[in-house]
A and B are shown apart, each in its own frame.
Chain A
Amino acid sequence: EIVLTQSPATLSLSPGERATLSCRASQSVSSYLAWYQQKPGQAPRLLIYDASNRATGIPTRFSGSGSGTDFTLTISSLEPEDFAVYYCQHRSNWPITFGQGTRLEIK
């Protein structure tokens, strides 16, 4: 089973600042990594798939990068609605696994 480790656990930033979230895989997942956003009481929403592709309707301030074992989700300029929990997930093989999440909170 591939373990995904996200860092930091919590990130405190202000609107307008740049956010950088990390996801590290215990073994290579090639580019088969996705990022999801989840707000309280809501279902997750797909942001990025295959490391760097934005899903339909996702604002351009969200970008993803990386391959192999190290991945980054960047939010270029935080909007108030971006404060949420973010999860990474691989689709390299079975079982699918998720990272433990990074909580992005308002400073």
Chain B
Amino acid sequence: EVQLVESGGGLVKPGGSLRLSCAASGFTFSNYIMSWVRQAPGKGLEWVSSTSSSSSYIYYADSVKGRFTISRDNAKNSLYLQMNSLRAEDTAVYYCARGGYCTGTICPMDVWGQGTTVTVSS
């Protein structure tokens, strides 16, 4: 079964750091573009970051650039998001998602994890 499982969320104070993980199974992880997407409470979806299969290209939303770092370990079938200098507005459910049906460098997201909740509050 194709599956993504996020972990690492929690409560953190403003200015703090957190590292999210996403464990992939059921597919050849190293072949796929992977992304993080977040959803603030009661709000819509916001793309955060994406990395190509070999990490040769990485992109970030302006809202997190310079504070968040996406990375992957293809040997461990895992995707990560290091989040530093966290702000209250980073409070959200964070989803990892696989890029499927690819015909270029940006792909629709065809498999999603269940999400992990990050709360930034003092």
A contacts, CB < 8 Å to B: 32, 34, 36, 38, 42-46, 49-50, 53, 55-56, 87, 89, 91-101
| B32 CB within 8 Å of chain A | no
Contacts of A42 in B (CB 8 A): 114
By DSSP majority rule, is chain B's interface helix, strand, loop, or mixed? loop
Task: Evaluate contact between A49 and B62: CB separation under 8 angstroms.
Answer: no
15 CB contacts below 8 A, A to B, read A32-B106, A34-B109, A36-B45, A43-B115, A44-B112, A46-B100, A55-B108, A89-B47, A91-B104, A91-B108, A92-B106, A95-B59, A95-B62, A96-B47, A98-B47
Least distance between A66 CB and chain B CB atoms (Å): 15
Task: Evaluate contact between A97 and B47: CB separation under 8 angstroms.
Answer: yes
By beta carbon, the residue of chain A nearest B57 is A94
Least distance between A81 CB and chain B CB atoms (Å): 18
Contacts of B114 in A (CB 8 A): 42-43
| B46 CB within 8 Å of chain A | yes
Task: Evaluate contact between A96 and B112: CB separation under 8 angstroms.
Answer: no
By beta carbon, the residue of chain A nearest B111 is A46
Give the CA-CA distance A38 to B115 in the complex, in Å. 13
Least distance between A58 CB and chain B CB atoms (Å): 11
Least distance between B12 CB and chain A CB atoms (Å): 22
Least distance between B84 CB and chain A CB atoms (Å): 20
A sample of 13 more A-B contacts (CB under 8 A), given A34-B109, A36-B45, is A38-B45, A43-B113, A45-B112, A50-B108, A53-B101, A55-B108, A89-B45, A96-B35, A96-B50, A98-B45, A100-B44, A101-B44, A101-B45
By beta carbon, the residue of chain A nearest B115 is A43
By beta carbon, the residue of chain A nearest B47 is A96
Contacts of B95 in A (CB 8 A): 43-44
Give the CA-CA distance A59 to B28 in the complex, in Å. 26
Contacts of B106 in A (CB 8 A): 32, 91-94, 96
Give the CA-CA distance A97 to B33 in the complex, in Å. 17
Interface-central residue, B59, B62, B106, by most chain A CB under 10 Å = B106
By beta carbon, the residue of chain B nearest A101 is B44
Contacts of B46 in A (CB 8 A): 98
Contacts of A55 in B (CB 8 A): 100-101, 108, 110
